[in-house]
A and B are shown apart, each in its own frame.
Chain A
Amino acid sequence: MKVAGIPNRLKAQLKRLVHYKSFVAGMVILTFFVGLSIYAMVTWPYSEAVAKWNNPAVWLDYPKHAKPSWITLFTGVRELEGSLIIDTRLEAKNVVKLRQVLERFGKPFATIERISIGFTYDYDAFPARLVYVVPVNTTDRVFVNMTWRKPSGIEIIIEKNFFTSGELIRSLEPKPGEVPEFALRYVEIVEKVYGVRVNISNLNPTYLLFCDDEYLAKTGALRVLKGSYQVGVETFSSDINSTVDLRLVIQGTIYGLAGTDFLGRDLFMALAWGAPIAMAFGLTASLLSALLQIAIAAISAWFSGVVDVVVQRINEIFMVLPFLPTIVMLWMFYGFDLWTLLWVIILFNTWGSGIKTSRAMFLQIKEMPYIEAAKAYGSSNFRIVMLYMIPRVIPVIIPNIVTAIPSFVFLEAALAMLGIADPRTITWGKVLQEAYTHGALLQGYYHWILAPSIMLFLMGIGFAMIGFTLDRVFNPRLREI
């Protein structure tokens, strides 16, 4: 019964909305985000997503800074997507394991193990890096000799040492001023075969393992050598029960729809989860601050007198309070999560110039003849405010709420850039902030910055298009003839 008929009118207006291309485009964008949100929530429930995102161990085997995989569609270069993992403990394919116990005087005194892994690498681009793990389980020491045999036949010894029990982890990545031992051996081999001494300073050591030696010797440049590779591990230990395994992780250069970040985290997960969080954040902030605003403004305008004076003075205090410094200070003192940040933002956005504008609107509405008529037939103050004044501004407020949603999402992103962010929640702003602090642009990891930026931009455009169209339909005076 309450405000009967409004749905009818709304229906008519919504029907008219469909005639606007901007509205349809906005709805397409919004549908995309809703779909993305549903996908995110179904794939990784919230707590699981947060836990996974914030646990670097989960992401160890993922390639770091990988580009989105669809990029190869444009470049035409074949690249390794994700990581090529070969673990001798888990698989037998491409793995040959030989174990021999040496006996002297009928008694076993030592064990020799030969592990050999073969794989084919026929991509056009180098892998980003090679990580190998050698789990050693022994009571004594184990001598390990690990060799890398390229398709060209060149064999490089990459480990030659005694190890005690434990996990040897090597990650071959460029470290300034540091050249791994095997690299020096490699240079010597190349010199021996081709008679050229190549300069390998500042090169990614992983590349040396995958490069075309002849090409390198002749031109000094790197090129992938395609073909089958053999990795061999020879161990010798006096502990006959000792075991040695090998886990090889060849990390590629492309991954998934959105690539990965500095920890190898799948950015698509962040982009997808960013959508529901951004929409929930933006919508709550926009809706609540608008509703609070009109409620406060309506009360202030209708009751006037002391109520108005008190409300306006409080409002003016908020208006002179600088938003950014205040929120930085609050964050320094209390440090809050995303949802507390939301309340703080709502508080600050409710008060301020918005109340002045709404109050001005209400002061005008208050003088409308129909308000006087309502007083004349005995409406209570509450009824007048709720049923006569507030509905009048709804058509003005709804488009504003919609248009303001992305501004709150942007605000969250901007605050994240300043470091004011929930450390655990996944937001586009946080991704951007990490990209920024890790110099994504300087290093050429454009996808890391562009993807969340495009999401923010799309969300802004989408809501703006819907909001502006709503405004044109609800407030026809602005509509051109």
Chain B
Amino acid sequence: MSGQQDLLVVKDLRVWHPIRKFLTVAGYVRAVDGVSLSVKQGEIVAIVGESGCGKTTLARAIMGLIPAYSGSIFFEGVDITKLPKPTIRRWYSAQVGLVQQDPYGAMPPFMTIKKIIEEPMIIHKVPKEERERRVRQLLEETGLTPPEDFLHKYPHMLSGGQLQRVAIARALALKPKLIVADEPVSMLDASVRIEVLMMFRGLQEKYKTSVLYITHDFATAKYFSDRIFVMYAGQIVEAGPSRDLINKPKHPYTEALINVLPDPDPGNRFTVKKILPGEPPNLIRPPPGCRLHPRCPYAMEKCRREELPLIELSDGRQVRCWLYA
């Protein structure tokens, strides 16, 4: 995988939401604060973190839906933070697809499945015959067979799992180079979840699409993604190949998160989980130094003062912790 080209490179991205008071800006919510990452062609990269860590904001910035405060997002070498809005709409929106969390909210309830999948193609001026063919093909590829059964249905007639397949079909309609999937299966039932993810993975390989998989769930990330970036309080705290990172977490935060996640095991009920005290910090005034230090069991004096960059370790792993400096 290392030989492949980077499709998406995010460099020191900051997405700060201004807090306006009257006409002045009183401060910023630092939802994404200095994130750098890269996604290679055909690679699935997971961004894992708890709610409020900035992963969804990062996804929206990468989609070009919200402006960056500073930093750059290079897509095939083009910095999309510098692109004017019409260019994003005309060009970039066809290069990236989006799969959202809530399958029921992600579809206009008044459109048929056919129309829903067709919409991106209509907007990007795909000829009609091509669109018709493509919709059927996509329905077949996403396992909604036979397509005739689904073409003229409305979203409320489908189950959550089926809707998420439609969402994936819609995201793939324009054969984008990158798909941003924001918690695509977290609202689905366990048995369906894996089915959808496997189907998604199959299509991703077929289309050679890169996927940015945003999730709070390490377990699915382990099976679905090639690399994992762990986010905490607007920053990437650890990155590395999925299985490696989950088997041997380096950062205290990753370690704690993975420790509290159970596997189905009858022994679980006799153990008490070790948890990090406290709650994630306020993003308006994040703590100085390492953002985890108020909760970290290994916190040192240095952690309270100095912020540090991601440190490159061997085998493609990175960590933002003084323990490894």
* Direct touch of chains A and B (CB < 8 A): yes
Contacts A372-B100, A377-B93, A379-B123 given; indicate if A9 touches B154 (C-beta within 8 A). yes
Query: Which B residues are in CB contact (< 8 Å) with A383?
Result: 123
Tell me the nearest residue of chain A to B120, going by C-beta.
A377
Query: Which A residues are in CB contact (< 8 Å) with B115?
Result: 3-5
In the complex, whether B152 has a CB less than 8 A from a CB of chain A is: yes
Interchain CB contact under 8 A, A8 and B152: yes
CB distance from A416 to the nearest CB of B (A): 40
Interchain CB contact under 8 A, A377 and B105: no
Q: What is the interface of chain B mostly: helix, strand, loop, or mixed?
A: loop
Interchain CB contact under 8 A, B119 and A374: yes
Q: Mark A56-92, 1 if CB is under 8 A from B, else 0.
A: 0000000000000000000000000000000000000
Tell me the nearest residue of chain B to A383, going by C-beta.
B123
Query: Which A residues are in CB contact (< 8 Å) with B112?
Result: 4-5
Complex CA gap A221/B173 in Å reads 95
Interchain CB contact under 8 A, B114 and A5: yes
Interchain CB contact under 8 A, B107 and A370: yes
In the complex, whether A388 has a CB less than 8 A from a CB of chain B is: yes
Interchain CB contact under 8 A, A376 and B154: no
In the complex, whether B302 has a CB less than 8 A from a CB of chain A is: no
CB distance from A12 to the nearest CB of B (A): 10
Q: Mark A362-380, 1 if CB is under 8 A from B, else 0.
A: 0000001110111111111
Tell me the nearest residue of chain B to A375, going by C-beta.
B65
Complex CA gap A377/B64 in Å reads 11
Give which listed residue, A369, A373, A375, A394, contacts B110 with CB less than 8 A: A394
Tell me the nearest residue of chain A to B110, going by C-beta.
A391
Contacts A5-B152, A369-B101, A383-B123 given; indicate if A378 touches B90 (C-beta within 8 A). yes
Complex CA gap A274/B60 in Å reads 58
Interchain CB contact under 8 A, B123 and A377: yes
Give which listed residue, B90, B94, B97, B100, contacts A369 with CB less than 8 A: B100
Query: Which A residues are in CB contact (< 8 Å) with B37?
Result: none
Query: Which B residues are in CB contact (< 8 Å) with A6?
Result: 110
In the complex, whether B320 has a CB less than 8 A from a CB of chain A is: no
In the complex, whether A392 has a CB less than 8 A from a CB of chain B is: yes
Interchain CB contact under 8 A, A378 and B124: yes
Q: Which of A375, A378, A379 has the most CB of B within 10 A?
A: A378
Contacts A5-B114, A369-B101 given; indicate if A376 touches B65 (C-beta within 8 A). yes
Query: Which B residues are in CB contact (< 8 Å) with A4?
Result: 112, 114-115
In the complex, whether B102 has a CB less than 8 A from a CB of chain A is: yes
CB distance from A372 to the nearest CB of B (A): 7
Contacts A5-B152, A375-B65, A378-B123 given; indicate if A369 touches B108 (C-beta within 8 A). no
Q: Which B87-114 residues have a C-beta within 8 angstroms of A?
A: 89-90, 93-94, 96-98, 100-102, 105-112, 114
Q: What is the interface of chain A mostly: helix, strand, loop, or mixed?
A: helix
In the complex, whether B63 has a CB less than 8 A from a CB of chain A is: yes
Interchain CB contact under 8 A, A373 and B100: yes
Interchain CB contact under 8 A, B93 and A376: yes
Give which listed residue, B107, B108, B119, contacts A377 with CB less than 8 A: B119
Give which listed residue, B63, B101, B105, contacts A376 with CB less than 8 A: B63
Query: Which A residues are in CB contact (< 8 Å) with B123?
Result: 377-380, 383
CB distance from B289 to the nearest CB of A (A): 35
Query: Which B residues are in CB contact (< 8 Å) with A388?
Result: 108
Tell me the nearest residue of chain B to A388, going by C-beta.
B108
B interface, how many residues as a size bin?
20 to 34
Complex CA gap A156/B110 in Å reads 83
A interface, how many residues as a size bin?
20 to 34
Tell me the nearest residue of chain B to A476, going by C-beta.
B156
CB distance from A394 to the nearest CB of B (A): 7
Interchain CB contact under 8 A, A369 and B154: no
Complex CA gap A276/B114 in Å reads 42
Query: Which A residues are in CB contact (< 8 Å) with B174?
Result: 377
Contacts A4-B115, A378-B120 given; indicate if A373 touches B106 (C-beta within 8 A). yes
Interchain CB contact under 8 A, B124 and A5: no
In the complex, whether B170 has a CB less than 8 A from a CB of chain A is: yes
Query: Which A residues are in CB contact (< 8 Å) with B107?
Result: 370
Interchain CB contact under 8 A, B119 and A369: no
Query: Which B residues are in CB contact (< 8 Å) with A9?
Result: 110, 154
Q: Which of B108, B120, B124 has the most CB of A within 10 A?
A: B108
Q: Mark B166-210, 1 if CB is under 8 A from A, else 0.
A: 010010011000000000000000000000000000000000000
Query: Which B residues are in CB contact (< 8 Å) with A378?
Result: 89-90, 93-94, 120, 123-124
Query: Which A residues are in CB contact (< 8 Å) with B106?
Result: 369-370, 373
Query: Which B residues are in CB contact (< 8 Å) with A372?
Result: 60, 65, 98, 100
Tell me the nearest residue of chain A to B167, going by C-beta.
A373
CB distance from B56 to the nearest CB of A (A): 11
Complex CA gap A466/B5 in Å reads 63
Query: Which A residues are in CB contact (< 8 Å) with B152?
Result: 5, 8
Q: Mark A385-400, 1 if CB is under 8 A from B, else 0.
A: 0001001101100000
Tell me the nearest residue of chain A to B176, going by C-beta.
A377
Query: Which B residues are in CB contact (< 8 Å) with A370?
Result: 105-108
Complex CA gap A394/B111 in Å reads 13
CB distance from A366 to the nearest CB of B (A): 12
CB distance from B164 to the nearest CB of A (A): 12
Interchain CB contact under 8 A, B98 and A373: yes
Query: Which A residues are in CB contact (< 8 Å) with B100?
Result: 369, 372-373
Q: Which of B60, B94, B115 has the most CB of A within 10 A?
A: B115
Complex CA gap A329/B85 in Å reads 49
Query: Which A residues are in CB contact (< 8 Å) with B98?
Result: 372-373, 376-377
Complex CA gap A394/B112 in Å reads 16
Tell me the nearest residue of chain A to B86, going by C-beta.
A380
Interchain CB contact under 8 A, B89 and A380: yes
Residues on B facing A (Cβ under 8 Å): 60, 63, 65, 89-90, 93-94, 96-98, 100-102, 105-112, 114-115, 119-120, 123-124, 152, 154, 167, 170, 173-174
Q: Which 7 A-B pairs have the closest CB atoms?
A: A378-B93, A377-B120, A5-B112, A376-B98, A369-B105, A369-B106, A378-B89
A-B contact pairs, 19 of them (CB 8 A): A4-B112, A4-B114, A5-B111, A369-B101, A369-B105, A370-B105, A370-B108, A373-B100, A374-B119, A375-B65, A376-B93, A377-B93, A377-B97, A377-B98, A378-B123, A379-B123, A388-B108, A392-B108, A394-B110
List 15 additional contacts besides A376-B65, A394-B110; criterion CB under 8 Å: A5-B111, A368-B105, A372-B98, A372-B100, A376-B97, A377-B124, A377-B174, A378-B90, A378-B93, A378-B120, A378-B123, A379-B119, A380-B123, A392-B109, A392-B110
